[in-house]
Amino acid sequence: KEITDAPILIIGSGYGGAVSALRLCEAGKKVVMLEMGLNWEKSGIPFSNMLKPGKSAAWLKKKTIAPFMNIFSLTPFTGTLDRMDFEHINIWVGRGVGGGSLVNGGMAVTPKESYFREVFPDLDAKKFYSTYFPLVHKELKVNVIGEQFLKDCPYYKFTRVGEAEAHKAGFKTIRVPNVYDFQYMEKEYKNEVPRSAFNTEVIYGNNHGKNSLDKTYLKKALDTGNLEILDLHCVDNIKLNDDKTYTLNVQQTDTSGAVVADKVFNCKKLILAAGTMGTLKLLLKSNATNNFPIHEQIGKSWGNNGNFMTGRNWVKPLSGGTGAKQSTIPVGGIDNWEDKEHPFFTEIAPLPMGMDVATALYLLINRVDKKGEVSYDSINKKLSLNWDQSNTAKMKENADYFIKKMNRANGGTRSHFLFNNGFGADVCYHPLGGCVLGKATNEYGKLNNHDNLYVLDGSLIPGTIGVNPFVTITAIAEYCIENLIRQNEFA
Ligand code: FAD
């Protein structure tokens, strides 16, 4: 087996991994990053759009795995979108250099300060809102759509209809910032540049316009000359050595998923940034197979960030519905968070199907009243999740309240076209928690019971943050790595 020694290893190239890499590289450290997905930019393979799913559409699957309408066959390829299926919930994640930033909708939402304080009572919220969130907005290139463009552009009819209907039903709407470059979007509308958001590109990757991590944090980190990214390298398990260093068993694959090399990596310092589910799998599996020490809090306080999908059919069919042409980039949201009985936030989501299906799609984000727990099933060798309908009962009540109120004011029915009973309780885009900051780790993400292991990704957030999570994941990672470097953890 090929053996590599690296002083600092990062597993995963999503938000937590990318932030850690940049700040360590800027501090002059040599960093090796292992990513199981493909380096799409280097491969030169274009991303496919939603109407013509191709190589990038799914992680080694024979059929597409979007939340609905999976009518397309595929040749298995290491695509960008993966789905982990559990009995009561399906969890979508991004794969590839850039992690979730490749497949997500780019919605860059800062949590409400009051809720951030509630979720993280021990953090200095003032410092987050004055320093880390503004820093993250700058690094991620967060921007806002021009109101006039939004008003005029036929591709945003679904947003305009959604907002007008929400107002009629008595709800408050908000403009949602995004990392998609809206100046690029205005040019693509005029056909001055190739189309991406207006060409149904998003959950299988964007060829243009979107400032995913490969164009921001990772690019800056690579420019320092201190970062090496090894793609198609999947970490199978971790061992703790007597001298407190780590040994990783890694499989290098080709794009069909076949193993081309079994490798061993040794490192002094290890950063786990494999995303909530990836990090939990590595910790729990290594514990089950290698006696890897883990703290009792690992797997606890897991949540779906209150994700609950729902939709309405026959949305204003006579006035032309929600539009045949739809941008893939959401810019509108309904903010009902202050309602004591039914607190939720919902994205007015696009449904770019190439025809007007007079259907509105919503991804609700609720509080998580009842958290779940992740463990490892050694017999079937996979993660198991303690999560069922009781965890989403209140979310369903909120969705029902929302849909009924919208339909009463505007007409329409609950969407049986999109979901079996009109409710997608099992759709999760935002798995969070299981390795909570200050509980399973110290105050800066150093794992309890370890001297040289750090967790820096969505698993630090205790299952809920009230809005789409990547801005918060990035800010927490900035805060942790800054303090870890200051404490000479990587000296
Ligand atoms: P990730 O971004 O998930 O990165 C983890 C990386 O680690 C991945 O690249 C993975 O391939 C790699 N990895 C995992 N295991 C291993 C292993 N064993 N070996 C090597 N590599 C490994 N959030 C928002 O804020 N706004 C949105 O608009 C939004 N839209 C979304 C839409 C979709 C369809 C999805 C799926 C998610 C969306 N999200 C959105 C959620 C957001 O993308 C995630 O919360 C975020 O990416 C999580 O960041 P992370 O750093 O925890 O890990």
Write out the H or E segment, with its range, that includes residue 156.
none
Q: How far is the CA of 319 from the centre of ligand 1 (A)?
A: 38
Could you say which of 35, 139, 188, 347 is catalytic?
Answer: 347
- What are the helix and strand counts (H, E) for the chain? 12, 21
Residue bearing the CA closest to ligand 1, atom 11: 95
Rounded-to-integer distance, Cα 120 and Cα 125, Å? 8
3-state DSSP assignment of residue 458 = helix
Residue bearing the CA closest to ligand 1, atom 32: 104
Token pair in block for residue 85: 């299926």
Atom nearest to 469 CA in ligand 1? 25
- DSSP-derived secondary structure for 251-275: EEE-TTS-EEEEEEEEEEEEEE-SH
Token pair in block for residue 462: 């205790």
Place of tokens 């040994």: 247
β-strands 453-455, 259-272 pairing: parallel
Find, among 82, 62, 110, 446, the residue nearest to 277 by Cα: 82
Position 319 scores a pLDDT of: 60
Report the sign of the C-alpha dihedral through residues 436, 439, 445, 446, in that order.
negative
Position 318 scores a pLDDT of: 57
Phi, psi of 442 (to 5 degrees): -80, -170
Find, among 423, 171, 425, 429, the residue nearest to 310 by Cα: 423
3-state DSSP assignment of residue 302 = strand
Position 297 scores a pLDDT of: 98
Find, among 351, 301, 296, 303, the residue nearest to 51 by Cα: 351
Token pair in block for residue 323: 């539009």
Q: Are 20 and 271 in contact (CB under 8 A)?
A: yes
3-state DSSP assignment of residue 18 = helix
Position 71 scores a pLDDT of: 87
Q: How far is the CA of 133 from the centre of ligand 1 (A)?
A: 19
β-strands 2-11, 259-272 pairing: parallel
Instruction: Outline where 120-172 has alpha helix (H).
Output: 125-127, 133-140, 147-152, 157-168
ipTM of model = 0.99
| One-letter amino acid for residue 152 of the chain | D
What's the pTM?
A: 0.98
Find, among 256, 365, 350, the residue nearest to 49 by Cα: 350
Token pair in block for residue 491: 């000296």
Find, among 291, 306, 304, 332, the residue nearest to 458 by Cα: 304
Position 317 scores a pLDDT of: 61
Out of 101, 103, 470, 481, give the residue to mutate to test ligand 1, the one with the largest number of ligand atoms within 8 Å of its CB.
470
Rounded-to-integer distance, Cα 449 and Cα 440, Å? 9
Report the sign of the C-alpha dihedral through residues 20, 233, 39, 76, in that order.
negative
β-strands 344-349, 332-335 pairing: antiparallel
Q: Tens-digit pLDDT profile for the chain (491 aa)?
A: 899 999 999 999 999 999 999 999 999 999 999 999 999 999 999 999 999 999 999 999 999 999 888 889 999 999 999 999 999 999 999 999 999 999 999 999 999 999 999 999 999 999 999 999 999 999 999 999 999 999 999 999 999 999 999 999 999 999 999 999 999 999 999 999 999 999 999 999 999 999 999 999 999 999 999 999 999 999 999 999 999 999 999 999 999 999 999 999 999 999 999 999 999 999 999 999 999 999 999 999 999 999 999 999 877 765 668 888 999 999 999 999 999 999 999 999 999 888 888 889 999 999 999 999 999 999 999 999 999 999 999 999 999 999 999 999 999 999 887 887 889 999 999 999 999 999 999 999 999 999 999 999 999 999 999 999 999 999 999 999 999 999 999 99
Out of 81, 276, 430, give the residue to mutate to test ligand 1, the one with the largest number of ligand atoms within 8 Å of its CB.
430
Rounded-to-integer distance, Cα 6 and Cα 8, Å? 6
Q: How far is the CA of 93 from the centre of ligand 1 (A)?
A: 5
430 as an active site residue: the answer is yes
Which residues line the pocket of ligand 1, CB cutoff 6 A? Answer: 11-16, 34-37, 92-96, 99-100, 103-107, 203, 234-235, 273-276, 278, 282, 429-430, 457-458, 468-470, 473
Question: What pLDDT digit, counting tens, does each position of 324-380 carry?
Answer: 899 999 999 999 999 999 999 999 999 988 888 888 999 999 999 999 999 999 999
Find, among 444, 449, 439, 441, the residue nearest to 482 by Cα: 444
Position 315 scores a pLDDT of: 75
Question: What pLDDT digit, counting tens, does each position of 7-53 carry?
Answer: 999 999 999 999 999 999 999 999 999 999 999 999 999 999 999 99
347 as an active site residue: the answer is yes
